[in-house]
């Protein structure tokens, strides 16, 4: 995943995604004692940065592969992203979802033209279901975070941010499966001006923090966090990039996540999902290190269930 | 209130307000069967268009008047707007609020440097309190909606929208005290290209609808609406402008307001207050009339109490 591949990816997906705005808030700058630039992927198509990676992965398939469709397993934003990206490119999307997935997520997939296959809510059932679909249909499996084309796609959000603000001293992004942070770290390494990349993770699912320190993929025994997009674990493509190019991983409490989410909603008047608030929470926690610096925050998405808010 | 006064007002307040963005949504365009342009005053300073009128009114005072301060009565956005505008211009703001006003509103006023005077929650007490402050301090009274300088200021939101999109066929705005709709109607009359202005009002507080048809100021016996910014009534400066320049007033139900608010939150990922959703609800209700037209919606503000959402 080199500099040229990242630029090529940006050009490839440009017609299918939004160039999202960068917003600022005087009050948050005051609180953080820094100049903070929010890259608003909550305004991305289908409401999250995942649209970027999904689009890039499908565009990299041959015509023959495209004709056979794509398959993934996801209970979250990637299921909807792959469905919408596939629909935009006239490709069939097969989505394996646990039977326990919320109705609102299933509805989203169906609305974007994805075909849902329900499975038991465990890793084995999920993998078996995806495997069966691949064998039956010849569809190409696309992993939600550990696929190199997905990583490159996710990195274009940070790339756009750095093209607009080349002098950022640091960029914060949340870590779930690691696609966003790995892509952001590559973008900062190739296009930043000594820009550090910091991962933000809930204490409740701190597998990436532990992986970062042990050097191998760690797992979570429990996932009791409001940041539902960050429950997944790193993969063999994301971990090496993170180990090499991420400066630090900062963990935050659930209360810190909710307070940051509320701050963004009340002061910036934009809707962000809890996972996005994790990144601001990490900056505010560690703000001494970034005093008077220029800091980017990747707002990963804005898909929340309005009936289950933490306020 | 002529064309030149409106332009002069725009130039006068420019350094003290944000030029707010105009957003669009493919899904809402599809639902409305029209091209809809949202003028996002929820991103205005202190979160609402009222900042415009408050700033203009203070800027029109003489130095001598400014030194004696300003006074208003409001339990809502205008209290905060006048406080912040006064603070920005180094003027003292006296705010009369009913003792029943929510703590969050009082906190906002204090945060922006306004001095609160509590009174009994009725019209007489409110007017008496404001009068006493005027006599004691020599402060100038500024009405939240019926002041001509306030009306001109509120009109600059629609003026900016029309400068950016000159070919709007119609603009929808909510009606409370009538300052926003009167200002918008003047802007459309002087700067629109045969642009109609439509007022949007909840059935539960349809005083403006009745005033529009009777030709005199009507009142509300009850105010059971979620659109807390629209409970006030027209005045002798707003009514004549509305009678002359507004095409129509459309009334909507509480369910229609909540559905529109939810649509904006979920699809546009922005936080708007219920009063703002009233304007979109009116367009969707009457969409047959605007098929394939260019329609502006003034999103009046984004100040909501996250602990009391209607979802």
Which chain B residue's Cα is nearest to A23?
B43
Which strands sit side by side in the sheet containing B248-252, from one edge to the other? B22-23, B35-40, B294-299, B170-174, B196-202, B248-252
Give yes or no for residue B122 having a pLDDT over 90: no
Would the CB atoms of A302 and B271 count as touching at under 8 Å?
Answer: no
Give yes or no for residue A268 having a pLDDT over 90: yes
Phi-psi region of B35 (alpha: psi -120 to 50; beta: other; left: phi over 0): beta
- How many angstroms separate the CA atoms of B255 and A25, rounded? 33
Residues 6+ apart with CB under 8 A from A33: A287, A290, A291, A292
Identify the pLDDT of residue B105.
Answer: 84
Identify the pLDDT of residue B253.
Answer: 98
- pLDDT classification of A122: cutoffs 50, 70, 90: confident
The larger pLDDT score, comparing residue A99 to residue B57, is at B57
Tell me B206's DSSP state: T
Identify the pLDDT of residue A170.
Answer: 98
To test the contact with chain B by mutation, choose from A111, A258, A266, A269 the residue with the greatest count of B C-beta atoms within 10 A, namely A269
Ordered structural domains, chain B, with CATH: 3-48+147-299 (3.40.50.1100), 51-141 (3.40.50.1100)
Residues 6+ apart with CB under 8 A from B58: B66, B70, B82, B85, B86, B89, B91, B142
Give yes or no for residue A128 having a pLDDT over 90: yes
pTM of the model: 0.94
Q: Give the burial class of B128: count Cβ atoms within 10 A of its Cβ; 0-12 exposed, 13-18 middle, 19 or more buried.
A: middle
- pLDDT classification of B66: cutoffs 50, 70, 90: very high
Is the Cβ–Cβ distance between B230 and B206 less than 8 Å?
A: no
pLDDT digits (tens, 9 = 90+) for A181-201: 999 999 999 999 999 999 999
Give yes or no for residue B160 having a pLDDT over 90: yes
- pLDDT classification of B214: cutoffs 50, 70, 90: very high
- pLDDT classification of A102: cutoffs 50, 70, 90: confident
Instruction: Report the percent of chain A where pLDDT is more than 90.
Output: 93
What tokens does B113 get? 């440097």
> Residue A133 — φ and ψ, nearest 5°?
-65, -40
B47 vs A contacts (CB less than 8 Å): 269
Measure Cα distances from B93 to B82, B127, B153, B304 in Å.
7, 16, 18, 23
Q: Which of B47, B23, B45, B79 minimizes the C-alpha distance to B300?
A: B47
Would the CB atoms of B43 and A269 count as touching at under 8 Å?
Answer: yes
Identify the pLDDT of residue B57.
Answer: 98
Give yes or no for residue B190 having a pLDDT over 90: yes
- pLDDT classification of B76: cutoffs 50, 70, 90: confident
pLDDT digits (tens, 9 = 90+) for A202-243: 999 999 999 999 999 999 999 999 999 999 999 999 999 999
A261–chain B nearest CA distance, Å: 11
Residues B185-198, mean pLDDT to the nearest whole number: 98
Would the CB atoms of A43 and B269 count as touching at under 8 Å?
Answer: yes
Is the Cβ–Cβ distance between B53 and B154 less than 8 Å?
A: yes
Identify the pLDDT of residue A119.
Answer: 95
- Taken in order A255, A261, A264, A265, is the CA torsion positive or negative? negative
The mean predicted confidence, pLDDT, of chain A is 96
Residue B215, number of CB atoms within 10 A of its CB: 10
- How many angstroms separate the CA atoms of A131 and A137, rounded? 10
Output the furthest CA–CA distance in chain A (Å, rounded).
57
Burial code (b: 16+ CB inside 10 Å, e: under 16) for A216-239 equals ebbebeeeebbbbbbbbbbbebbb
Give yes or no for residue A269 having a pLDDT over 90: yes
Interface of B with A in 272-311 (CB under 8 A): 272, 302, 306-307, 309, 311
A233–chain B nearest CA distance, Å: 27
Give yes or no for residue B102 having a pLDDT over 90: no
Give yes or no for residue A75 having a pLDDT over 90: no
Give yes or no for residue B134 having a pLDDT over 90: yes
pLDDT digits (tens, 9 = 90+) for B245-283: 999 999 999 999 999 999 999 999 999 999 999 999 999
pLDDT digits (tens, 9 = 90+) for A16-44: 999 999 999 999 999 999 999 999 999 99
- pLDDT classification of A68: cutoffs 50, 70, 90: very high
pLDDT digits (tens, 9 = 90+) for B216-253: 999 999 999 999 999 999 999 999 999 999 999 999 99
ipTM computed for the complex: 0.93
- How many angstroms separate the CA atoms of A283 and A274, rounded? 15
- DSSP code per residue over B32-84: HTSEEEEEEGGGSGGGBTHHHHHHHHHHTS-HHHHHH-EEEE-SSHHHHHHHH
Would the CB atoms of A269 and B42 count as touching at under 8 Å?
Answer: yes
B272 vs A contacts (CB less than 8 Å): 269
Would the CB atoms of B306 and A306 count as touching at under 8 Å?
Answer: no
- How many angstroms separate the CA atoms of B28 and A45, rounded? 14
pLDDT digits (tens, 9 = 90+) for B27-62: 999 999 999 999 999 999 999 999 999 999 999 999
Is the Cβ–Cβ distance between B186 and B272 less than 8 Å?
A: no
Would the CB atoms of B42 and A302 count as touching at under 8 Å?
Answer: no
- How many angstroms separate the CA atoms of B40 and B24, rounded? 10
Q: Which of A193, A185, A190, A200 minimizes the C-alpha distance to A165?
A: A193
Residues B170-181, mean pLDDT to the nearest whole number: 98
Measure Cα distances from B229 to B74, B78, B133, B303 in Å.
10, 10, 25, 10
Q: Is B262 on the interface with A (CB under 8 A)?
A: yes
Helix (H, G, I), strand (E, B) or coil at A252: strand
Residues A238-267, mean pLDDT to the nearest whole number: 98
Give yes or no for residue B123 having a pLDDT over 90: no
- How many angstroms separate the CA atoms of B80 and A19, rounded? 34
Instruction: Report the percent of chain B where pLDDT is more than 70.
Output: 100
B270–chain A nearest CA distance, Å: 4
Rg (CA), chain B: 18
Is the Cβ–Cβ distance between B55 and B47 less than 8 Å?
A: no
The mean predicted confidence, pLDDT, of chain B is 96
Q: Is A266 on the interface with B (CB under 8 A)?
A: yes
Q: Which of A241, A92, A277 minimizes the C-alpha distance to A154?
A: A241
Is the Cβ–Cβ distance between A180 and A154 less than 8 Å?
A: yes
Residues A108-127, mean pLDDT to the nearest whole number: 93
Helix (H, G, I), strand (E, B) or coil at B199: strand
Give yes or no for residue A164 having a pLDDT over 90: yes
């Amino acid at each position: 995943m080199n500099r040229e591949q990242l630029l090529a990816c940006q050009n490839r997906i440009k017609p299918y995604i939004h160039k999202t705005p960068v917003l600022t808030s005087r009050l948050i700058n005051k609180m953080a004692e820094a100049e903070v630039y929010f890259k608003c992927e909550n305004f991305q198509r289908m409401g999250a940065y995942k649209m970027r990676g999904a689009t890039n992965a499908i565009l990299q398939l041959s015509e023959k592969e495209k004709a056979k469709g794509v398959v993934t397993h996801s209970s979250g934003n990637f299921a909807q992203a792959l469905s919408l990206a596939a629909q935009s490119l006239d490709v069939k999307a097969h989505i394996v979802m646990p039977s326990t997935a919320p109705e609102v997520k299933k509805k989203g997939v169906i609305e974007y033209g994805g075909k849902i296959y329900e499975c038991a809510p465990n890793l084995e059932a999920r993998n078996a279901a995806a495997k069966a679909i691949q064998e039956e249909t010849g569809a190409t499996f696309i992993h939600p975070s550990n696929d190199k084309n997905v990583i490159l796609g996710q990195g274009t959000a940070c790339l756009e941010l750095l093209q607009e603000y080349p002098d950022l001293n640091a960029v914060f992004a949340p870590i779930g499966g690691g696609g966003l942070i790995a892509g952001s770290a590559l973008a900062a390494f190739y296009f930043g001006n000594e820009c550090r990349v910091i991962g933000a993770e809930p204490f409740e699912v701190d597998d990436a923090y532990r992986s970062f320190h042990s050097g191998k993929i760690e797992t979570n025994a429990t996932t009791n966090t409001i940041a539902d997009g960050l429950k997944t674990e790193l993969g063999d493509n994301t971990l090496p990039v993170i180990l090499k190019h991420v400066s630090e991983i900062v963990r935050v409490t659930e209360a810190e996540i909710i307070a940051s989410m509320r701050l963004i909603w009340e002061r910036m008047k934009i809707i962000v999902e809890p996972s996005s608030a994790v990144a601001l929470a990490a900056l505010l926690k560690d703000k001494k290190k970034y005093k008077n610096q220029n800091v980017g925050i990747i707002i990963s998405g804005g898909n929340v269930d309005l009936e289950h808010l933490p306020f």
